[in-house]
Each structure stands twice: as structure tokens, then as C-alpha cells.
Amino acid sequence: MTENEFYEKIPEWIEHDKSRWNHITLLAYFCHKYEQKNGVRFRLVRCQKGPTMGKEASDFAKLFKLLAPENYDDLTKEKKQEIKSNINKKIYNYINWMFDYKFRSGQVSVTGTKLFHTPSIIVQFEKMYDTYIEKNEKRLGIQELLLWVNENLPEILDNHQLDRIEDLEMIKKYIEIYSLSELSSEVRLVKKANELMLF
């Protein structure tokens, strides 16, 4: 495959579901973002076997290994597929973060794929990404809790506001202040929130 053929395939490849992505697709997405940001194609290091076997593809394969758990090779096929999908999404977000946030302006810019291996940059991204994932999981957990409350404890919504984690904290205090019994709607609500790991 020539570099031109590789670039022609990029729009098709990056439309695939991220669970199907691999280091080649991640490289394709990197090239897409680079061209969007700079108005020119990223110049890949020449390789006799083509761009999918070159240095940049190897850099994304190494990045995958860096972000994968240490026991990745020992996991079941199903667990590997789940982790692969999550890591692909993480690297996709890492690429976006590098172009759209970390190096969005100023004299420093994304000049190559090796930059993605910089330990201090990985740590900075992972802190931000973990915070985002945690907030997103809690937001989804609150939505699941609200569905459960509508079906099982609709009276809660008549007596309490329940939109955020902070509202659950207030209900916990309410339980303590009024020494509510285990059978009360509020205690049942908090037990369900614990099951959903919202605390």
C-alpha cells in the first residue's frame, strides 16, 4: 500500500466502530487530525512494506501496550476484546486531547507520533481522562437510579430533589438526623445508590 492509498482509505477506516480499531486505524485517525489541524498531510516515514508497517504504526502499537494492563496477554479472548475496545477509545480521546487541548495553540505543536509516548504527557492525560470517566459513570448511574426510583420509590421525588450526587449526600444526612428506619424509602434509596456504586 502506498502513502496515497493509505490516505484514500482513512475516511472509510475511521468511520468503523472503535471496538474494531487497531494501531493502523489509530494512525489513520492521527493523520486525519493532523491534516485537519495543519491543512497538510502528515509525512510518514518511508517504509518498503508501506505506511501500515512503518515507524508511526509501530508507535501506536507500542502506545497500546503502554496503556494495556500488564496481564493483558494472559486474559481470555472476551476480556481482551473488552479491554482493547476501551484502550482504543482512550487513545482516540488522547489523540483528540493532544490536538484540541494540549497543543491547540502556541509555538509547540504535535509534530509526530513519538510525542504520544512522553510519560509526563501520558500522566497528565490519564488524570484528566480518569476524572472524566468517573464523572460520566456517576452521571449515568444517577440516570439509572432515577429510573429505578420512578418504578420503585416514586414518593422520593415528592419529598426530595434528586438530580446529582450532592442530593444523595443530603438524603443520607436526612436519614441520620431523623433516624429513619431500614424500611423507609430514603434508606432503600441509599442502599440502591450503594449498589450502583454512586458513593
Whole-model pTM: value is 0.74
* pLDDT tens-digit readout, 128-150: 999 988 888 888 889 999 999 99
Q: DSSP for 120-165? A: HHHHHHHHHHHHHHHHHHHHHHHHHHHHHHHHH-HHHHHHS--SSH
Instruction: Name the CA radius of gyration of the chain, rounded.
Output: 23
Q: Are 24 and 75 in contact (CB under 8 A)?
A: no
Rounded CA gap, 199 and 197, in Å?
5
Q: Could you give the 3-state DSSP secondary structure of residue 72? A: helix
User: Is the pLDDT score of 106 beyond 80?
Assistant: no
Which tens digit of pLDDT belongs to each residue from 42-73?
Answer: 999 988 888 889 999 999 999 999 999 999 99
Q: Which tens digits make up the pLDDT trace of 35-45?
A: 999 999 999 99
**Cβ neighbours, 10 Å, residue 190:** 20
